């Protein structure tokens, strides 16, 4: 699919980050876009940005949906067909995701499962829902967002990290399995797995809102203490900090995660769309992702040892984690 003009694309998580940038770039090329997100406000801004640079006749629709709910995804699919008056789509970007559920031992089960359900079942439910519309297209492409944490389940030796990589490994395995399944049963549809490194998005703040319903500025006393323990585990002198200082530190870390990322969300979207044009099934996003991929492939048995971390740090890309 070399040209996106005249195509119909569905994007989950279109309110911010890579989803917003994918929508903007696709619409600029004349692609009709249907997006869903949990935030109507964020999607309204994405739609405004898209329409400011949209060729005549290009449409942008929004729909509020939590991708961890199959019922809501099915309503989204019905709305796409109805509002765009179409029986098919060409591109399905399963982009929505949150971070959370760090410890299988200490994290509340509901937080662990919510993270897993958004990051894995959001992909599964969306593929199930939109497959009939992909089958009716002349050509189609499924693009599932995994992560470097889909092949390396770590954020380093001082931080638990289980729900997110469990989901992202599932996304990667599912997409790789689809390659042969589609080749045998629907050869006009391609599949790609996207594995970004550190991308400049607001996932830290967005994840907290999904999991707790509150922003970092509205942290509860328990959440402050949980953050204090996490910071101590990272080697920071958190016991000497007041609750307000802990809160301010978490806000600053979220800001720096977006502002200091080696790859912007716009750059990531461009890499992804170029990968789709080239029909690459495996799309690494960012030089940090390339470096980590090479290290894991070279020394898989050492991937969770300190010596591996030291090598990755020496590569100059450790700041991503």
Mean pLDDT of 53-59: 90
Contacts of 156 (CB under 8 A, 6+ apart): 309, 321
Show the domain range for 26: 8-201+263-314
- What the block records as the tokens of 49 is 């940005």
224-245 pLDDT per residue, tens = 887 787 777 777 787 888 888 8
What mean pLDDT, rounded, does the chain reach?
Answer: 93
Residue 101 φ/ψ, nearest 5 degrees: 60, 50
Judged against a pLDDT cut of 50, whether residue 194 lies above it is answered with yes
Residue 126 pLDDT: 98
Residue 254 pLDDT: 80
Burial class (CB in 10 A: 0-12, 13-18, 19+), 189: buried
Task: With residue 135 as reference, give the H or E element that holds it.
Answer: helix 122-135
Distance of CA 297 to the CA centre of its chain: 23
Residue 12 pLDDT: 98
Using pLDDT thresholds of 50, 70 and 90, give the confidence band for residue 319: low
72-95 pLDDT per residue, tens = 999 999 999 999 999 999 999 999
Judged against a pLDDT cut of 70, whether residue 197 lies above it is answered with yes
pLDDT over 90 for what percent of the chain? 74
- Is residue 148 located within the same domain as residue 243? no
- Is residue 182 located within the same domain as residue 253? no
Judged against a pLDDT cut of 90, whether residue 263 lies above it is answered with yes
Q: Give dist(CA 35, CA 46) in Å, integer.
A: 9
DSSP assignment of 147-207, as one string? -GGGT---S-TTS---HHHHHHHHHHHHHHHHHHHHHHH-TTEEEEEEEE-SEE-SHHHHH
The reply to whether 1 falls in a domain is no
Mean pLDDT of 122-127: 98
Residue 209 pLDDT: 81
- Is residue 268 located within the same domain as residue 193? yes
Contacts of 78 (CB under 8 A, 6+ apart): none
Distance of CA 43 to the CA centre of its chain: 16
Mean pLDDT of 153-157: 90
pLDDT over 70 for what percent of the chain? 99
Using pLDDT thresholds of 50, 70 and 90, give the confidence band for residue 188: very high
- HEC string of 59-94 equals CEEEEECCCCCHHHHHHHHHHHHHHCCCCCCCEEEE
The reply to whether 209 falls in a domain is no
- Is residue 122 located within the same domain as residue 222? no
Distance of CA 192 to the CA centre of its chain: 14
- Is residue 181 located within the same domain as residue 34? yes
Place of tokens 């977006």: 258
Mean pLDDT of 116-124: 98
- Is residue 188 located within the same domain as residue 236? no
DSSP summary character for residue 104: T
268-316 pLDDT per residue, tens = 999 999 999 999 999 999 999 999 999 999 999 999 999 999 999 898 8
Domain count of the chain?
2
Q: Give dist(CA 108, CA 262) in Å, integer.
A: 32
Judged against a pLDDT cut of 70, whether residue 320 lies above it is answered with no
Judged against a pLDDT cut of 70, whether residue 321 lies above it is answered with no
Contacts of 218 (CB under 8 A, 6+ apart): none
On whether the CB atoms of residues 118 and 98 are closer than 8 A, the answer is: yes
Which has the higher per-residue pLDDT, 71 or 237? Answer: 71
Judged against a pLDDT cut of 90, whether residue 38 lies above it is answered with yes
| CATH code for the domain of 106 | 3.40.50.720
Residue 1 pLDDT: 87
The reply to whether 319 falls in a domain is no
- Is residue 160 located within the same domain as residue 292? yes
């Amino acid at each position: 699919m070399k040209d996106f003009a005249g195509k119909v694309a569905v994007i989950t998580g279109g309110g911010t980050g890579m989803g917003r940038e994918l929508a903007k770039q696709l619409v600029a090329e004349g692609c009709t876009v249907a997006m869903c997100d949990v935030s109507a406000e964020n999607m309204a801004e994405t739609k405004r940005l898209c329409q400011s640079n949209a060729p005549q006749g290009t449409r942008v629709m929004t729909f509020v949906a939590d991708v961890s709910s199959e019922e809501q995804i099915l309503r989204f699919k019905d709305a796409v067909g109805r509002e765009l008056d179409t029986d098919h789509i060409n591109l399905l970007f399963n982009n929505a995701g949150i971070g959370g559920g760090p410890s299988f031992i200490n994290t509340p089960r509901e937080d662990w499962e919510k993270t897993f359900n958004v990051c894995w079942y959001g992909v599964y439910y969306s593929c199930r829902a939109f497959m009939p519309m992909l089958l009716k297209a002349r050509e189609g492409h499924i693009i599932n967002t995994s992560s470097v944490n889909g092949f390396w389940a770590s954020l380093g030796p001082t931080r638990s990290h289980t729900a997110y990589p469990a989901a992202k490994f599932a996304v990667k395995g599912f997409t790789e399995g689809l390659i042969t399944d589609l080749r045998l049963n629907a050869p006009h549809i391609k599949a790609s797995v996207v594995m970004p490194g550190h991308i400049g998005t607001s996932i830290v703040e967005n994840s907290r809102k999904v999991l707790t319903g509150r922003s970092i500025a509205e942290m509860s006393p328990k959440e402050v203490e949980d953050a204090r323990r996490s910071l101590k585990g990272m080697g920071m002198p958190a016991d000497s900090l007041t609750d307000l200082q802990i809160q301010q530190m978490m806000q600053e870390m979220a800001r720096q995660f977006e502002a200091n990322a080696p790859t912007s969300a716009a750059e990531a979207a461009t890499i992804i769309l170029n990968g789709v044009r080239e029909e690459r099934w495996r799309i690494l996003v960012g030089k940090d992702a390339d470096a980590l991929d090479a290290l894991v492939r070279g020394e898989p048995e050492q991937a969770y040892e300190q010596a591996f971390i030291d090598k990755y740090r020496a590569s100059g890309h450790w700041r991503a984690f």
